[in-house]
Amino acid sequence: MSAKDIFHDMARTALEKDGWTITKDPLFFKLTQQFKINIDLGAEKFIAAEKATRQIAVEIKSFVGISAVSEFHMAIGQFLNYRVALEQLASERVLYMAVPTDIYQDFFTDSFVQAVLERYQIKVLVFHVQKQEITLWKD
């Protein structure tokens, strides 16, 4: 099992403060003998207006390494693989990439990063590390 991201607990708390119930920590799937994945969190929330439960999967990324660009490349590849896995095994879940507010402001607002997110329809959840609150849902 892979190690938890350094912001794992902060992102989890932010989701809980936003009314989400964490149902899996981690959300584990065995696709084949070769492929087993652990998405950081599985969560659900009852949406009264829709009279339904919304289910999400959240992959938390810190981007604290030497190169944000390299980490972005790896995160996008991982995200796309996870999305395919969810389509096969848990199609009711919507996948989000969770990033801290400062990373979003400093890196994710770059026009190329925004183009990649748009092209691959990557949903982003932005959370404030110290306040442990969600600041943005970017669908």
pLDDT tens for the chain, residues 1 to 139 = 455 778 999 999 999 999 999 999 999 999 888 989 999 999 999 887 777 789 999 999 999 888 999 999 999 999 999 999 999 999 999 999 999 999 999 999 999 999 999 999 999 999 999 999 999 999 9
pLDDT, tens digit, 9 for 90 and up, residues 32-67: 889 899 999 999 998 877 777 899 999 999 998 889
Q: Which of 33, 39, 43 is nearest to 13 (CA)?
A: 43
Per-residue confidence (pLDDT) for residue 1, from 0 to 100: 46
CATH level 3 topology of 8-138: Trna Endonuclease; Chain: A, domain 1 (3.40.1350)
Write phi, then psi, for 128 (nearest 5 degrees): -85, 120
Matching residue, tokens 């990063």: 113
